[in-house]
A and B are shown apart, each in its own frame.
Chain A
Amino acid sequence: MTRRTIISILAPLLAVILAFLVGAVVIVFLGQNPFYVYRVLFSNSITNIDGWGYVLFNATPFIFSGLAVALAFKGGLFNIGVEGQIYMGAFAAAWIGITVNLHPILEIPLALIFGMLIGGLWGFIPGILKARFGAHEVINTIMLNFIAMALTNYLVNNPFKEQGQINPIPQTKELYSGAIIPRVYPLFNRLGIKMSPSVPLNYTFFLALAFCFLTWYLLERSRWGYEIKAVGLNPKASRYGGIKPEFIIVLTMFLSGALGGLGGINDVMGYRYRFLDGFSHGIGFTGIAVALLGKSNPIGIIFASILFGILDRGALAMDVFTNTPRELIQVIQAIIIIFVAIGNELIFRLLIRLERERE
């Protein structure tokens, strides 16, 4: 491993540790014992199989949203619209699930592809606006978030509302069985790993890992990834090198949106088996943090997603077993991001100095 890789792994790790230390100070100010609070946080998430099951279940959508943000970032674009892409993609997949009744072998891929297409469309729109008119993608992706939320809210409240039921939150009817992604506990139990049937971890997690590999392959081994990174780093030199930056911007935003479109699959096809209004609660925005912490690297994104999965799981336990409010977890998440952001800049400068000295 080069010094560069070691530093880029150590830096986020350091940020996480520092964030927990600052969090401990906050807990002390709240009049609680940080050792106890952190023990509760971790013992309910990573000390037993079921806890890990929940953690990975929580991590699954973050992997997709983190990949979506990271891919756009490699292309020099800020996709703040993953949240909207999640809603659009999830609704598209749910629509297949409630209208088409096929064998899972056909129906699951069909729902996934349709979800990616519609999520991709939600990335394509700001992409083409940027390439064609120079409209900034940050503004347009944010605006499209509102449109996606309002649109799915309308659809799930009106034409697609489940009839004959009174639900606190509007939802569609249940998906046909062909569109359901099964849980993994039967497999684990067969392998001799005891996991309780209540654990919602499902095969979407493995799908997420597969997409990590695909994204890595796209970026590091394919001609298109080369062009995406080239445009992200230097559009002028890319044009000189025969690349069409406008086309690459649209392509990048489409692919990023397609990855984002899978961010709701875990919930819709793997957990609730229906589309629930407003189910995401910021998965897309957490994706920004995940991509930042994972340095836009697919492997790093897996670890960052798991960390955020642990924090989400631990927050629940903290709420139940301690007097520390679960909002503390959000504080820690925010502090991690701040430390990573500072760390990135410091490390970049350090690296440049090291390289210069070696020359």
Chain B
Amino acid sequence: MEDRYILETRNIVKHFPGVLANDNVSISIREGEIHSIIGENGAGKTTLMNIIYGLIRPEKGRILLRGKEVNISSPAVAIKLGIGMVHQHFMLVPPFTVWENIILGKEITKRGGLDRDSIYSELKKLIDDYKFNIPLDEKVENLPVGIAQKVELIKLLYRGAEVLILDEPTALLVPQEVEELFETLYALKSQGKTIIFISHKLKEVLRISDRITVMRKGRVVGELDRDKADEKTLAQLMIGKTLEPIQSVVSNRQEEILRLEDIKLPPKLKQVSLSLYRGEILGLAGVEGNGQKELLDIITGLTLPEDGRIFFANKEVHHIDPRMIREMGIGFIPEDRQVMGLILDFSVAENIILGRHYKPPYSIRNRLNLPVIYRDAKEIVERYDIRTSSIYKAVRFLSGGNQQKVILGRELSFDPLVLVASQPTRGLDIGATEMIHSLLLEAKRNGMAILLHSSDLDEIMSLSDRIAVMYEGEIVGVFSPKEVDETLLGLYMTGVRRD
């Protein structure tokens, strides 16, 4: 079969503040194939797709459609050219019925009103052609995720899409729904449609794809035919090898401080048992969405597990809530610093006392002790090198790195026994990242137990004394960083191997 490319990108370059999201990205998609684009979070897959779909303009580079250069300035242009995209988060109107959602924006009208007969016959034909099984008159809010996703697909077909981009389509699906989706995709392929499938689940990718493009840190690092690919090579390509020498880790692990026994929170957490020791950093690795967030929310008291026991310093704790967690001596650096970690319109000083604002020395008989609050805030701003013109300034106006330092200063300054750090350096520049790394290592040396959750494997590998890998709500392996490399971790993270 001759190579007929329906869609090509040539040397796409796109920066975001502090990140090179796409670095000379060139991909080629053949007509009528299912082409997977894989890579870790932040590898630049979604950015590239958003550029192809006209949501983002690249700084450099060209897009070719059937060999001819096109200028995709908006999603409307993309749709006109026959390119459609199903986003991770559906773009549907929940209280509308299925058919209303499908025609929205491209209504067939007769004398100013909707021409229901024509709409129905056209939609029926589409549904029959692709063997969809969808109730047209059901409201979208009543549909399971898998069906809602099909509505998104039909929406694109109704608009005449030839190239269908699916961004992590299986992320929200249960296994049976994945099977159905794959059948649908095969049906689409047999009708001559081209499908771009974005994922980081290697098993799925190997099942569905004709060809696979691997991206890492904004670059294309490999393009393989299905029969030349296996999970190991893909994982290796996806994660890459670290070139930097791993920081020497002095482990002075002491007594156990936190123990989880058979923690369950279906559907995300199947069963997790975990011990954390003083003076160690336990790295929690895993592809996002495999239960890490739920696990951390349970440890920090934000959600209650359905089952299981939690021991702190060998004493079982019941009915935990965030205030009690702090009182016990657990600090928490949440993943989403602007939503969870900070109150953006509160001042630096007000944010620094959050969590301890209700008790002495910050509140005395429910009265805020402002002199002490301001004194401590100034001290923390100085000690953690938080760049702000004053402690009265709203944290909204601080840079991301300085916002994170406010959180870190707050959580470290009360000398917790345990620190739960989730994505502590995500989106930060090198300087702030290094400072946060050295603060974590120093805290560990002083006997703190740190649970470090990060999607940056380099960070996990270089800081951790032990690494626990989560996959589909379970811990599938615990390693010393000396006995594993990233390829092996990648196999565990993608569910290929487990202990």
Contact = CB atoms under 8 A, between A and B. Distances in A.
B321 A242 contact: yes
Nearest to A230: B343
Interface string A102-117: 0000000000000000
Interface stretch (A64-72, A143-151, A310-318, A351-359): A351-359
Interface in A322-359: 352, 355-356, 358-359
B366 A222 contact: yes
A352 B357 CA distance: 27
B323 A240 contact: no
| Interface size range on B against A | 20 to 34
B367 A230 contact: no
A290 B358 CA distance: 31
A101 interface: no
Nearest to A226: B357
Interface in B319-351: 321-323, 326, 332, 334, 339-346, 350
B160 interface: no
A240 B302 contact: yes
Given A237-B339, A242-B321, A221 B368 contact: yes
Given A237-B342, A237-B343, A237-B354, A222 B322 contact: no
B368 A223 contact: yes
A157 interface: no
B248 interface: no
B430 to A, nearest CB: 20
Interface in B349-373: 350, 354-355, 357-358, 363, 366-368, 370
B397 interface: yes
A243 B326 CA distance: 12
A236 B339 contact: yes
A234 B343 CA distance: 6
Interface in A221-241: 221-224, 226-227, 229-230, 233-234, 236-241
B323 A242 contact: yes
B399 interface: yes
B133 interface: no
B367 A240 contact: no
Given A221-B367, A233-B343, A233-B344, A239 B397 contact: no
Contact of A240 (B340, B344, B370, B393): B340
A223 B343 contact: no
Contact of A234 (B344, B366, B367): B344
Contacts of B389: 358
B340 A242 contact: no
Contact of B341 (A223, A229, A237): A237
B358 A223 contact: yes
A24 B164 CA distance: 61
B355 A242 contact: yes
A359 B396 CA distance: 12
A239 B346 contact: no
Interface string B378-396: 0000000000010001101
Nearest to B354: A241
B87 to A, nearest CB: 23
A359 B342 contact: no
A333 B390 CA distance: 39
A241 B367 contact: no
B364 to A, nearest CB: 9
Interface string A242-273: 11100000000000000000000000000000
Nearest to A231: B343
Given A223-B358, A230-B343, A237-B341, A242 B322 contact: yes
B378 to A, nearest CB: 18
B322 A239 contact: yes
Contact of B340 (A222, A236, A355): A236
Contacts of B341: 237, 240
Given A237-B340, A242-B323, A356 B302 contact: no
Contacts of A230: 343, 346, 354
A297 to B, nearest CB: 15
A198 B341 CA distance: 58
B399 A359 contact: yes
A238 B397 contact: no
A222 B367 contact: yes
A322 B342 CA distance: 56
B339 A234 contact: yes
A217 to B, nearest CB: 9
A352 B396 CA distance: 9
A241 B367 CA distance: 18
Of the listed residues A221, A237, A239, A243, the one surrounded by the most CB atoms of chain B closer than 10 A to its CB is A237
A67 to B, nearest CB: 20
B149 to A, nearest CB: 28
A352 B332 CA distance: 29
Contacts of A233: 343-346
A242 B358 contact: yes
A240 B397 contact: no
Contacts of B323: 242-243
A241 B322 CA distance: 7
Interface in A74-98: none
Nearest to A217: B367
B322 A240 contact: yes
B410 to A, nearest CB: 9
A234 B339 CA distance: 7
A356 B366 contact: no
Contacts of B357: 223, 226-227, 241
A350 to B, nearest CB: 14
A226 B344 CA distance: 14
Given A226-B357, A230-B354, A358-B389, A238 B367 contact: no
Contacts of A356: 397
Contacts of B396: 352
Nearest to B402: A359
A358 B366 CA distance: 36
A296 to B, nearest CB: 13
Nearest to B339: A236
A226 B355 contact: no
A224 B343 contact: no
Contacts of A359: 397, 399
Central interface residue in A224, A226, A239, A244, by most chain B CB within 10 Å: A226
Interface of B: 300, 302, 321-323, 326, 332, 334, 339-346, 350, 354-355, 357-358, 363, 366-368, 370, 389, 393-394, 396-397, 399
Interface of A: 221-224, 226-227, 229-230, 233-234, 236-244, 352, 355-356, 358-359
24 contacts: A221-B370, A222-B366, A223-B358, A223-B368, A224-B366, A227-B358, A230-B343, A233-B344, A234-B339, A237-B339, A237-B341, A237-B342, A240-B334, A240-B340, A240-B341, A241-B322, A241-B355, A242-B323, A242-B355, A243-B323, A244-B321, A355-B394, A356-B397, A359-B397
The 3 residue pairs across chains A and B that have the minimum distance between CB atoms: A242-B323, A241-B354, A223-B363
Given A233-B346, A352-B396, A355-B397, 20 more contacts: A223-B357, A223-B366, A223-B368, A226-B350, A230-B346, A236-B340, A237-B339, A239-B302, A240-B300, A240-B341, A240-B355, A241-B354, A241-B357, A242-B326, A242-B358, A243-B323, A244-B321, A355-B393, A355-B394, A356-B397
